Amino acid sequence: MSKLAKFAAAAAVFGVMASAVAQSAPKLGLGRVALPEEIKAWDTDVRPDGKGLPPGKGTVKQGDEIFQAQCASCHGEFGEGAGRWPVLAGGAGSLKADRPDKTIGSFWPDLSTAFDYIHRAMPYGNAHSLSDDEVYAVVAYLLSLNDIVKDDNFELSDKNFTSIKMPNAGAFFDDDRETSEKQFWNKNPCMKDCSGEVKVTGRAMNVDVTPDNKDGPKVE
Protein backbone atom coordinates (compact mmCIF):
# COMPACT_ATOMS: atom_id res chain seq x y z
CA MET A 1 0.00 0.00 0.00
CA SER A 2 1.36 3.47 -0.82
CA LYS A 3 1.86 5.88 2.03
CA LEU A 4 -1.02 7.98 0.84
CA ALA A 5 -3.37 5.00 0.61
CA LYS A 6 -2.35 3.91 4.12
CA PHE A 7 -3.05 7.34 5.43
CA ALA A 8 -6.44 7.45 3.71
CA ALA A 9 -7.35 4.04 5.13
CA ALA A 10 -6.26 5.07 8.62
CA ALA A 11 -8.21 8.31 8.36
CA ALA A 12 -11.32 6.42 7.26
CA VAL A 13 -11.05 3.99 10.20
CA PHE A 14 -10.48 6.86 12.58
CA GLY A 15 -13.49 8.71 11.11
CA VAL A 16 -15.71 5.68 11.65
CA MET A 17 -14.45 5.33 15.21
CA ALA A 18 -14.96 9.02 15.95
CA SER A 19 -18.55 8.97 14.78
CA ALA A 20 -19.20 5.73 16.67
CA VAL A 21 -17.87 7.38 19.85
CA ALA A 22 -20.08 10.42 19.26
CA GLN A 23 -23.13 8.23 18.79
CA SER A 24 -22.58 6.01 21.78
CA ALA A 25 -21.41 8.77 24.19
CA PRO A 26 -23.03 8.01 27.52
CA LYS A 27 -25.84 10.41 28.37
CA LEU A 28 -25.28 12.46 31.50
CA GLY A 29 -28.97 12.74 32.19
CA LEU A 30 -28.69 16.53 32.33
CA GLY A 31 -30.79 19.12 30.53
CA ARG A 32 -33.17 18.67 27.64
CA VAL A 33 -33.55 20.00 24.12
CA ALA A 34 -34.66 23.67 24.17
CA LEU A 35 -38.28 24.26 23.17
CA PRO A 36 -38.90 26.40 20.07
CA GLU A 37 -40.60 28.99 22.34
CA GLU A 38 -37.48 29.19 24.51
CA ILE A 39 -35.21 29.68 21.50
CA LYS A 40 -37.58 32.35 20.18
CA ALA A 41 -37.50 34.22 23.49
CA TRP A 42 -33.70 34.53 23.28
CA ASP A 43 -33.49 35.04 19.54
CA THR A 44 -34.28 38.76 19.51
CA ASP A 45 -31.24 40.25 17.83
CA VAL A 46 -31.89 42.84 15.14
CA ARG A 47 -29.24 43.42 12.50
CA PRO A 48 -28.36 46.58 10.58
CA ASP A 49 -29.97 45.16 7.43
CA GLY A 50 -33.26 44.78 9.33
CA LYS A 51 -32.99 41.03 9.79
CA GLY A 52 -34.72 40.05 13.03
CA LEU A 53 -37.10 43.01 13.20
CA PRO A 54 -40.52 41.94 14.46
CA PRO A 55 -43.57 43.23 12.56
CA GLY A 56 -44.86 46.43 14.14
CA LYS A 57 -45.10 50.22 14.04
CA GLY A 58 -45.24 53.30 16.21
CA THR A 59 -45.27 57.09 15.76
CA VAL A 60 -43.14 59.85 17.26
CA LYS A 61 -46.18 61.10 19.20
CA GLN A 62 -46.95 57.68 20.67
CA GLY A 63 -43.29 57.31 21.53
CA ASP A 64 -43.29 60.69 23.29
CA GLU A 65 -46.04 59.49 25.67
CA ILE A 66 -44.33 56.19 26.42
CA PHE A 67 -40.99 57.91 26.86
CA GLN A 68 -42.33 60.47 29.36
CA ALA A 69 -43.98 57.69 31.39
CA GLN A 70 -41.25 55.07 31.27
CA CYS A 71 -37.93 56.59 30.30
CA ALA A 72 -37.81 60.31 31.18
CA SER A 73 -37.27 59.75 34.91
CA CYS A 74 -33.75 58.59 34.02
CA HIS A 75 -33.07 59.90 30.52
CA GLY A 76 -34.79 63.32 30.80
CA GLU A 77 -37.90 64.50 28.91
CA PHE A 78 -35.82 65.30 25.84
CA GLY A 79 -33.21 62.58 26.20
CA GLU A 80 -30.84 65.06 27.84
CA GLY A 81 -30.21 62.66 30.75
CA ALA A 82 -31.57 63.27 34.24
CA GLY A 83 -28.76 63.71 36.74
CA ARG A 84 -25.99 61.37 35.68
CA TRP A 85 -28.14 58.87 33.73
CA PRO A 86 -27.17 58.37 30.09
CA VAL A 87 -27.88 61.09 27.52
CA LEU A 88 -29.82 59.82 24.48
CA ALA A 89 -29.96 62.90 22.26
CA GLY A 90 -27.79 65.73 21.01
CA GLY A 91 -24.02 65.89 20.66
CA ALA A 92 -24.12 66.40 16.89
CA GLY A 93 -20.73 67.65 15.67
CA SER A 94 -19.05 67.04 19.05
CA LEU A 95 -17.15 63.89 18.16
CA LYS A 96 -13.87 65.68 17.52
CA ALA A 97 -14.10 67.69 20.74
CA ASP A 98 -11.97 66.81 23.77
CA ARG A 99 -15.08 65.48 25.48
CA PRO A 100 -17.35 64.15 22.73
CA ASP A 101 -21.04 63.63 23.43
CA LYS A 102 -21.62 60.17 22.02
CA THR A 103 -25.36 59.64 21.66
CA ILE A 104 -27.60 57.59 19.41
CA GLY A 105 -27.85 60.63 17.11
CA SER A 106 -24.24 61.79 17.12
CA PHE A 107 -22.42 58.46 17.25
CA TRP A 108 -24.41 55.29 16.64
CA PRO A 109 -24.01 54.08 13.05
CA ASP A 110 -27.03 51.75 12.94
CA LEU A 111 -30.60 52.30 14.08
CA SER A 112 -30.95 48.57 14.61
CA THR A 113 -28.72 48.90 17.70
CA ALA A 114 -31.23 51.28 19.31
CA PHE A 115 -34.14 48.95 18.59
CA ASP A 116 -32.27 45.86 19.70
CA TYR A 117 -30.94 47.44 22.89
CA ILE A 118 -34.21 49.00 24.03
CA HIS A 119 -36.11 45.83 23.18
CA ARG A 120 -33.59 43.77 25.12
CA ALA A 121 -32.68 45.94 28.11
CA MET A 122 -35.00 48.93 28.71
CA PRO A 123 -36.70 50.28 30.75
CA TYR A 124 -33.85 49.63 33.14
CA GLY A 125 -35.10 47.24 35.82
CA ASN A 126 -38.19 46.32 33.82
CA ALA A 127 -36.72 44.90 30.61
CA HIS A 128 -38.98 43.09 28.11
CA SER A 129 -42.06 44.93 29.39
CA LEU A 130 -42.58 46.97 26.17
CA SER A 131 -44.55 45.57 23.24
CA ASP A 132 -42.90 45.56 19.81
CA ASP A 133 -45.11 48.52 18.75
CA GLU A 134 -44.04 50.46 21.85
CA VAL A 135 -40.37 49.87 21.01
CA TYR A 136 -40.94 51.16 17.44
CA ALA A 137 -42.66 54.22 18.94
CA VAL A 138 -39.87 55.12 21.41
CA VAL A 139 -37.24 54.59 18.72
CA ALA A 140 -39.26 56.97 16.47
CA TYR A 141 -39.33 59.49 19.35
CA LEU A 142 -35.55 59.18 19.78
CA LEU A 143 -35.12 59.81 16.04
CA SER A 144 -37.16 62.96 16.45
CA LEU A 145 -35.20 64.10 19.56
CA ASN A 146 -32.04 63.69 17.48
CA ASP A 147 -33.49 65.66 14.53
CA ILE A 148 -33.17 62.64 12.28
CA VAL A 149 -36.91 62.79 11.55
CA LYS A 150 -38.69 66.16 11.66
CA ASP A 151 -42.35 65.18 11.55
CA ASP A 152 -44.27 64.36 14.77
CA ASN A 153 -46.60 62.14 12.77
CA PHE A 154 -43.74 60.07 11.40
CA GLU A 155 -44.42 56.38 11.89
CA LEU A 156 -41.51 53.94 12.18
CA SER A 157 -42.22 50.34 11.20
CA ASP A 158 -40.49 47.17 10.10
CA LYS A 159 -41.27 48.29 6.53
CA ASN A 160 -39.44 51.65 6.53
CA PHE A 161 -36.87 50.90 9.23
CA THR A 162 -33.84 50.38 6.98
CA SER A 163 -34.58 53.57 5.02
CA ILE A 164 -33.42 55.62 8.04
CA LYS A 165 -29.79 56.64 7.65
CA MET A 166 -27.89 57.54 10.81
CA PRO A 167 -25.77 60.73 10.61
CA ASN A 168 -22.52 59.06 11.69
CA ALA A 169 -22.92 55.86 9.66
CA GLY A 170 -20.19 56.86 7.19
CA ALA A 171 -17.54 57.18 9.90
CA PHE A 172 -17.55 53.44 10.60
CA PHE A 173 -15.74 51.01 8.32
CA ASP A 174 -14.99 47.33 8.26
CA ASP A 175 -11.84 46.03 9.90
CA ASP A 176 -9.36 46.00 7.00
CA ARG A 177 -6.30 44.66 8.85
CA GLU A 178 -6.27 41.50 6.79
CA THR A 179 -5.34 43.55 3.75
CA SER A 180 -3.74 46.67 5.24
CA GLU A 181 -1.42 44.67 7.51
CA LYS A 182 -0.92 41.83 5.08
CA GLN A 183 2.87 42.14 5.23
CA PHE A 184 2.76 40.88 8.84
CA TRP A 185 0.77 37.75 8.07
CA ASN A 186 3.59 35.51 6.99
CA LYS A 187 5.81 32.93 8.65
CA ASN A 188 8.70 35.30 9.26
CA PRO A 189 7.29 38.76 9.85
CA CYS A 190 9.87 41.50 9.97
CA MET A 191 10.64 42.28 13.61
CA LYS A 192 13.62 44.63 13.27
CA ASP A 193 14.47 47.69 11.18
CA CYS A 194 11.36 47.04 9.12
CA SER A 195 10.75 50.49 7.79
CA GLY A 196 12.71 53.68 7.59
CA GLU A 197 11.48 56.61 9.58
CA VAL A 198 9.07 56.30 12.54
CA LYS A 199 6.69 59.20 12.92
CA VAL A 200 4.90 60.03 16.18
CA THR A 201 1.35 60.80 15.10
CA GLY A 202 -0.25 61.37 18.50
CA ARG A 203 0.53 61.56 22.17
CA ALA A 204 -1.42 60.57 25.25
CA MET A 205 -2.98 63.62 26.90
CA ASN A 206 -0.73 65.23 29.49
CA VAL A 207 -2.92 65.15 32.60
CA ASP A 208 -0.19 66.29 34.98
CA VAL A 209 -0.88 63.83 37.73
CA THR A 210 2.71 62.70 38.32
CA PRO A 211 4.52 65.07 40.68
CA ASP A 212 7.91 66.07 39.37
CA ASN A 213 11.01 65.67 41.53
CA LYS A 214 11.03 69.11 43.10
CA ASP A 215 7.44 69.16 44.44
CA GLY A 216 6.97 65.44 45.01
CA PRO A 217 6.75 63.97 48.49
CA LYS A 218 10.08 62.95 50.00
CA VAL A 219 10.69 59.25 49.98
CA GLU A 220 12.87 58.20 52.91
Interface residue list for ligand HEC (CB under 6 A): 70-71, 73-75, 85-86, 88, 103-104, 114, 117-118, 122-125, 130, 138
For the bound state, the minimum distance from the C-beta of residue 92 to ligand HEC, rounded and expressed in Å, comes to 14
Distances (CA, A) of 69 to 66, 76, 139: 5, 11, 15
- 36: cis peptide before it, omega within 30°? no
What b-and-e string marks burial along 68-95, b requiring 16 or more CB atoms within 10 Å of the CB? eebbbebbbebbebeeeeebbbbbbeee
Least separation in angstroms between CB 55 and ligand HEC: 20
C-beta closer to ligand HEC: residue 78 or 117: 117
Closer Cβ to ligand HEC, 62 or 103, answer by number = 103
Nearer Cβ to ligand HEC (38/77): 77
CB of 123 to ligand HEC, least distance (A): 4
- CB atoms closer than 10 angstroms to residue 212: 7
User: Of the two residues 15 and 44, which places its CB atom closer to ligand HEC in the complex?
Assistant: 44
Neighbours of 104 (CB within 10 A): 27
Residue of minimal Cβ distance to ligand HEC? 71
